[in-house]
Structure 1
Amino acid sequence: MASYVVMEPPAGSNKAEDATLVRDGFTWLGFLVPPLWLAWRRLWIEAVVTFAVMAILSVLGERLGLEWAGSALSLLVSLYVGFEGQAMRIAAMRRRGWHEWGVVEAGSLGDAEIRHVLETGEDGDESAPMPRIVPDMNQARPAQTGMALGLTHTPGRP
């Protein structure tokens, strides 16, 4: 089962159908074509930086006569986008004012959407809000004590 982070739009209508679900995991298209995947997801700055880094590594490897090194380093950039692409997408949505509702586990996106609608319980009754599964980034967090591999924090990951 996959984990989906549910992002709610900023201060507009908080209906379940307005939420966006982002799958938390490796993205193959982000690995195969990182700048294009980032641009498709409207992560313009990240796409430009990724393209520039990959081009610089390629040119540098060619000038130094180490084509294999430039290719290997470009592969590392692709791996980074493959593993952290969804986290970059969530961070960009957070910067645009979206906030996390929580995490839903399901076998597919359709199942995750159904589970989210059922968990929000939008049947017209105003009930007490459910406790947050993923804390807001504005709340104070304890200092991280261990090593971290990614540059962005992904909700749902230790």
Structure 2
Amino acid sequence: MAIYVVMEPPGRAEKSDMTAFIRDGFSWLGFLVPPLWLLWHRLWIEAALAFVAMALLSVLAEALSLGLAGPLLSLLVSLYVGLEGQALRIAALRRRGWHEWGVVEADRLDDADTRYVLEAETHPDEQAPAPRIVPDAAHARPAQMGIALGLNHTPGRP
């Protein structure tokens, strides 16, 4: 069974049919043709970076006359996009304001959609997950630094 990450658009009340299901796993097309796969998924900057990286690695290998190592260096970019391409898609959707509803386990995309709809109907009152709360660094430090001798000093106590 495959795992699908369910991403909901920012205004999910009026765009419930726009939910994106992104299969978590290796992308063979991303491995075979990385820049084209990235362009297909509207990852413009990532596609440009992949193209430039592959071109630079090919030129560098040719300039240093590395022989077979040149294509193998470009293969590293392909391998990265194949392994992390779906995570790049999820990160791009998060930057656009989408939020992660959760994950669904299913054999096919149609089954994942059905499971998502059934689960969303059983819990319609749940809101989007609360944003992560990052502690303030000012509260982590002691208010006053006292003289410290030894290993068991308690800050703020004389």
Short-chain TM bin: 0.7 to 0.9
Q: Where do residues 110-149 of structure 1 align in structure 2 (5 Å cutoff)?
A: 110-121=110-121, 127-129=124-126, 138-140=131-133
- Name the CA distance, whole Å, in 1 between partners of 2:70 and 2:6: 37
Letter in 2 for 1:128: D
Match of 1:55 in 2: 55
Cα distance in 2 for residues equivalent to 1:127 and 1:45: 36
Partner of 2:70: 70
Unaligned runs of 5+ in 2: 135-158
Whole-angstrom distance in 1 between the partners of 2:83 and 2:94: 19
TM value normalised by structure 2: 0.78
Alpha-carbon distance between aligned partners in 2 of 1:105 and 1:14, rounded to the nearest angstrom:
26
**Cα distance in 2, alignment partners of residues 50 and 118 from structure 1:** 39
- State whether structure 2 residue 30 is matched by structure 1 residue 33: no
Between the two proteins, the alignment pairs up a number of residues equal to: 135
- Secondary structure class of the residue paired with 1:79: helix
RMSD value, Cα: 2.2
Larger radius of gyration: 2
Task: Quote the Cα distance in structure 1 between the aligned partners of 2:66 and 2:99.
Answer: 45
Specify the SS of the correspondent of 1:80. helix
Structure 1: runs of 5+ lacking an equivalent: 142-158
- Percent of pairs with identical residues: 62
What's the CA shift for 1:14? Answer: 5.5
Bigger relative contact order (CA 8 A; separation at least 6): 1
Q: Quote the offset at 1:65 in angstroms.
A: 0.6
